[in-house]
Structure 1
Amino acid sequence: MKKTSIYIAVAAITGLLAGYLIFGIRTEEKTISTHNHAGETADQMWTCSMHPQIMQHEPGDCPLCGMDLIPAEAGADGLSPGQFKMTDNALALANIQTTVVGGQTDEVNSTISLSGKIAVNKEAVALQASYFDGRIEQLNVNYEGQKVRNGQLLATIYSPELVAAQQELLTAASLKSSQPQLYNAVKNKLKLWKLSEGQINTIETSGKVKENFPIYTTVSGTVSEVMSAEGDYVKKGQPIAKVNNLNTVWVEFDAYENQLSQISQGQKISIVSNAYPDELFQGRISFIDPVLNNSTRTVTVRATLRNSNDIFKPGMFVMGKIMTSPNLEQVATLSVPSSAVMWTGERSVVYLKVKADEPVFEMREVTVGARKGEQMEVISGLSLGEEIVTNGTFSVDATAQLKGKKSMMNKKAGKTMTGHEGHIGMQDIKEKGGIESTRDMKFPDRFQNEFQTILVSYLKLKDAFVASDSDQTAYLAKTILTELKKLNLKDLGAMEKAHLVKGMEMLEAIAKKKDLENQRAHFVIFNENIIAITSGLKFVNNAIYVQHCPMADSNKGAKWLSAEKEVRNPYFGDAMLTCGSVIDSLK
């Protein structure tokens, strides 16, 4: 019995030892294999498979969805720190197009394009005023836009002062032979009040005092403002109406600083109006504003147009083209499509395709010169024959930001992209792994005041999407884009600028597309950025509600802003008008 127990104990010890030798070694090998970080470097980044914009230096959970982070793809072999590669699918989705840089002389494309609008010729504006104190008994001009002609009855005025002057005239007339100087003095006094010789003779002949006196217009034109009403008491010289002579109008264009060297007074300018797209009008530059507008960074350039048929209405938008004189002695310059150049307010950048047979890109800072039409002169930074991105530049820049490479807003490569830097438009991501909240963004008071106008235009754009009106959405997107370009971005931070730039890219796409579904797809991304900016404002003029539809954007969900709590869905229109809910309010 004792011997049997010994055998059993020995067998058990032998089994445990064999198990350790077999499974312990395998477990150790598995552990070593599991934690083998071959290929990883000290700069290993971790990302989320669902949200690749999230990049962190160490593993953990995704701050957006909670999934485990995975190692980010290591840099492709043979690429420099500033270079990055895009997939073929990404190229196709973003419609990336490139162009080989070529040279041209100033003889080619020597046209400057300017945008502007029709304005009243202020040299032809006349104020119709009262020449004496009195009360307006009858006003013959009642509304803006009314046509008047020189000598037309403007108003009838009762003036006690004029009544007394007429009595003086009658008294002096009776003494004309004995006191001619007194008579002439009284008569001249009435003439200073713009009474004609005929009116004075009528008073003198009739021997009666006239209580109400007429006032006649001194110019022909269109009433632009009625400044008095019947029953008003007016002082001598007080305006009754403003009359514009629209036989000539001003055309005021906005010229950028880099265009001024090619513009001078007396130059011919060809003008096309949206109202008459098939007609070409000719004018000459008559004035160049000596002061630069700091908010728009433009100078007003003015031309005068004849308008005898009243075809031009103040406020109309027009386009002007100036043919510049070619400089045959100037050496050939590099010129690229203006769509290739991205401007941050401090520097200009382009993206190079560095490998002919692979989609590898790199950011390059350039110095630009004058813009001529759709071409931009490049003074330095590019060489003849290099290939640059000319369409989809914002998408390429976004990819560079995601990969932590040099980009428009990131001058140095290798910067960790988190939250808003990596994915423009995420709202209210709380701090986790270094991610900021959009409500911590800083906007100067001046910017916040100017942005209120953008919000008003945005609400109109949202309503156009609700109405499923693709033409109106394109028009309003273009309008907002113009308004955004006028904002002063000088004092904004990189994150704030990034939201605006991405929003402008989406507006540009909406304005170009007439396909409603495509417009709505871009509206999703635009809303992410506009909501992020609005959330960072200290105040808004009126309550703005953030609304969300879980079925929009292919069931991914999408947000928008509204001035009313009642949901009117811009992503589905009448098909699902009330789908969604209010998730936040900004006051």
Structure 2
Amino acid sequence: MKKYIIYIAILAAGLILGYVFFGKSAEENSNTKDVSDMSDSTNEQNQMWTCSMHPQIMQPEPGDCPICGMDLIPAETGADGLAMNEIKMTENAMALANIQTTIVGNVSGTDENTMQLSGKIMANEEANAVQASYFEGRIEKLNVNFTGEEVRKGQLLATIYAPTLVAAQQELLTAASMKESQPALYKAVRNKLKLWKLSESQINQIESSGKVREIFPIYATVSGTVSQKMAEEGDYVKQGQPIVKVSDLATVWAMFDAYERQISQLKEGQKINVTTNAYPNKEFEATVSFIDPVLNTKSRTVSVRATLNNKEDLLKPGMFVTAKVQMSKGNKMDSQITVPATAVMWTGERSLVYIKTNPNEPVFEMREVTLGTKNGDVYSITEGLKNGDEVVTNGTFTVDAAAQLQGKKSMMNTQGGKTMTGHEVHLGMENANGNSTTDHFQMTKRLEVSSKFKEQLNTVFENYVSVDKALVNDDAETAKKSANGLQKSIEKVDMKLLKDDAHKHWMTLEKELKASTSAIANTSDIKKQREHFIHLSAHLINAVKTFGINQKVYVDFCPMANNNLGAYWLSKDMDIRNPYFGSDMLNCGSVTDEIE
């Protein structure tokens, strides 16, 4: 009995000690587990699910992709590190769309008393020279092979067969035999040959040899770069007809536009600092050499020209540059912000611009602004921008189209972050009230226009369909020809049929449509054609939704186009024929919208 009592006492002591040492720890672990479970539960509630093949699909719970049926995977929240109204583009996309930015205001984000001017590099016209033929004849040999070739003064440019010079040489030989008796005639014949740029030694050689030459050389009179070939081998040229144009790029011009309020801070001979995106860490010193005495009444600007030394051949004609101009002390100008009309997108209710938020990366943010007065093609901004903001001034609609494709806030999508669920993939999804909601782009409102304008826009659409079909058939040459037809139909659209807001909106869209169409028409590379077709389609969708045409059309979407960012296009029927992949993935995509 004693033995059992001892066993029971030992067991009780063990239980007490076990509770003391392990009971509290277990409770802590339990509490910790509860907190962890709560955290995991919160993460699960915030977790979104996407498809690896169709990243535009975003759903709050796991399941199957409504497009391809694959299992959804957890989406990385904020993987791009961008806000909902920010869009990041590739350098290649920016170059294709010719996206240009301008720093607005007088001070570029600093306290310096400076102002910014935007412009581009041009060849120095004062250093240009045209090499012409001094006599009539046929070009037997042209020693300039391509535009951009370097030539030196005295270099042989071409040889010409000149029948008129053959007769003149015969006269020289005849006059030379009579030079003792008729010296005046002999001298006149020699002077005639000198007018054709024959040298004394050449004339003496003809006279001493007694032989007539049929081929004559033309030498370069200046050194420089061939900027234009104006004749080819075998061409018959007249006396004085240009053969090549030569530009000396040792100095170049930078051409800027200055607003009225900036003119007082500029004067000829003034030193300015110029920078370019090609060499972001390098400044070039320039001298203001000319200020246009006449104001452009449409843009309310004057042209300002500065001359730059280009001995290192770093600056190329066509480059965009920015000039920093030091202003007089105590003369800091009015801080009113102005932007070109091309920078502003107007929806009927809102005015929007895109600004570059990171100077070192192509990241853009949509911003709503309040417009002030308009002078020509320039708006004053009363609210929404500040000094130093870098605003997109060319290609604004292209940036907005990229925002649409990435589900960001855009002109047509005021909320941003629009995702496609399984119901939305199909046309005519039902909303809570049972009504069909097919407006994927969420345009604010349609503008009223005449039926005649709609007919002209309908013709533009029909020509667009021809381009679309050529890309579907992988036929680059037909796409190129069809783009030429589309370009002509856009040019025939009569803007006089539009008034006020409709007129402004079409002017902006027309510029973008022409640029994209021209790019397709000027290349036979089908990959590049399809890249430009992305922008063309986005702008035409905008136009059709804004103005309407005389038929129902469908908006189609391919999630794998545009490097898996997705791209839209218009079609006449609901059958998917993908212009971005052609025969490789002919039926990839879905109808996302219909436009009545």
> Normalized against structure 1, the TM-score is what?
0.49
